[in-house]
Structure 1
């Protein structure tokens, strides 16, 4: 089994690479930036490749884990680069299947769902994305599933909810709160009363690897399925850092278009034997201690 991994230098990709290597799997990473971990690496810009055939001949991979996408915080929701990633991903998957690939796993997002429903059931909640990012991901799912079906190659689509952990963008919620409680930035308002589905990145990648190694097809939520109030994230982080949460809680606000509830059902992934291993408190503590694996 040889895994072709894209996005290996990204937040989730760095953890995925280590998880694959811990299982003794051979990995070939492809992208513009060489991962810090030792791995066979093919340098390439996936958005500029018109023929993926030679790359597949070079990689000789049996399994594909595709994580690469445009993910600059605050910009990816509306970026036209989403459209380029739809095409690049479809071409990549088609070439992989044509080269006798055996299993495809692609990272999706909870943004594909209609968030007005709050609780996102895998096989019944409507897919009605409100952003270009979510729409592009949903379109990509439909295309790669069709391509894989034509080639009779199993394809698993992992809809990732709210991953967090050491190494994520400093502008995301949890790193920003950490900076506040360390006195490194001013307090800011959060939607404290809302419920969200947070999952530590190590549990996210274990879900992706489980999909990769079990030969399954279909869409799977990768989430905790445990509703957590954003206020609890604030108070837990403050407690771990010996800080006062009130300056943040006092500024509590509700952003436009933000749902009061965003939780995923994870029964399909659990049926494969996967379970989250970290509670929110444990995950936040790992994040603070800078653990990368």
Structure 2
């Protein structure tokens, strides 16, 4: 496991280790003793995957971390090197955490750029889990299943209508999981996750951009008023939500996983400037002909009600932690 320089991360990890044992740890399956049970994790080597696998290991359940093989329909266990059909890894599983997928790389790409990694792979995972009778599949979806035209925090049962090819692929993946698990013994959750950052990684969004500006030019530039809203959530908070979702039992359900509170682009810029020691007068607004008023805020009340989860890491704490990791 990679060593992280942030003391904030270590303190959160220590608190997690001291937390009560999750209920799923004592469940197993009818044919699997607790000593043999496993949690299958796809995308385990990714940013979120590293945190999830660490939490699982801390709970005494070594994850079965899978990567795709060159052979169609086959997967490789990163720990043992075993390559086999996906179903072979599900035998003793009491849960599947499906994190693998294609992130946005080219904003101009069509849905075909995401179909295999986000939709077809989810179908394979869901089918294998159902056929093996795995009790729960937790799927990492995205805030981008919601459109940018919303004017208030998105709700799971009201607002899912993606307006990007990537968002469409994640929405289709949710539908695949819902249909595959319908009327089966397998429960399913799709976590619609906000903009993930924190730890030793600034993520791929606006925080990283502002940090680079602050370090290179000692100036932070905001396009327009910076009124667009984002939901910034710490990767450790998302990992906790994923762990708690393993306890869910019931029909497929979408659950938002957002930060402590939605924040504007301008708020993010000022938080980065403050942490980087950039004077307030060096946070400047650039005129733009197309003001960004997009609202990617999430209503996370369902996560609180169903999972007993809420985010705990504020924007300022996230930025300070990322800066400490970069400096270290």
TM-score range, shorter chain: 0.7 to 0.9
> Between Structure 1 and Structure 2, how many residues are aligned?
277
Kept after mapping to 2: 8 A contact 1:52/1:92: yes
Kept after mapping to 1: 8 A contact 2:193/2:238: yes
Q: Does structure 1 residue 178 correspond to structure 2 residue 178?
A: no
TM-score (norm 2): 0.75
**Shift, 1:23, TM fit:** 2.7
Kept after mapping to 2: 8 A contact 1:164/1:200: yes
TM-score (norm 1): 0.83
Q: Does structure 1 residue 162 correspond to structure 2 residue 195?
A: yes
Kept after mapping to 2: 8 A contact 1:70/1:76: no
Q: Cα distance 1:282–1:144, how it changes in 2: closer, same or farther (>3 A)?
A: same
Q: Cα distance 1:259–1:41, how it changes in 2: closer, same or farther (>3 A)?
A: farther
Distance in 1 separating the partners of 2:219 and 2:68:
35
Distance in 1 separating the partners of 2:232 and 2:275:
17
1:264 aligned partner:
298
Distance in 2 separating the partners of 1:76 and 1:159:
22
1:183 counterpart SS class: helix
Distance in 2 separating the partners of 1:73 and 1:188:
23
**Shift, 1:168, TM fit:** 4.1
**Shift, 1:185, TM fit:** 9.2
User: For the aligned residues, what is the CA RMSD?
Assistant: 2.8
The Cα offsets for residues 18-39 of structure 1, whole Å up to 9 and x where unpaired, read as: 2222333331101159xxxxx8
Q: Does structure 1 residue 91 correspond to structure 2 residue 124?
A: yes
Q: Cα distance 1:74–1:253, how it changes in 2: closer, same or farther (>3 A)?
A: farther
2:55 aligned partner:
19
Kept after mapping to 2: 8 A contact 1:181/1:244: no
The Cα offsets for residues 34-59 of structure 1, whole Å up to 9 and x where unpaired, read as: xxxxx835576xxxx9x5333435xx
Kept after mapping to 1: 8 A contact 2:136/2:248: no
1:82 aligned partner:
114
**Shift, 1:235, TM fit:** 1.0
**Shift, 1:90, TM fit:** 0.4
2:276 aligned partner:
241
2:93 counterpart SS class: coil
Q: Cα distance 1:61–1:286, how it changes in 2: closer, same or farther (>3 A)?
A: same
2:66 aligned partner:
30
1:36 aligned partner:
none
**Shift, 1:77, TM fit:** 6.0
Structure with higher Rg: it is: 2
Gap regions ≥5 residues in structure 1: 34-38
Distance in 2 separating the partners of 1:78 and 1:248:
35
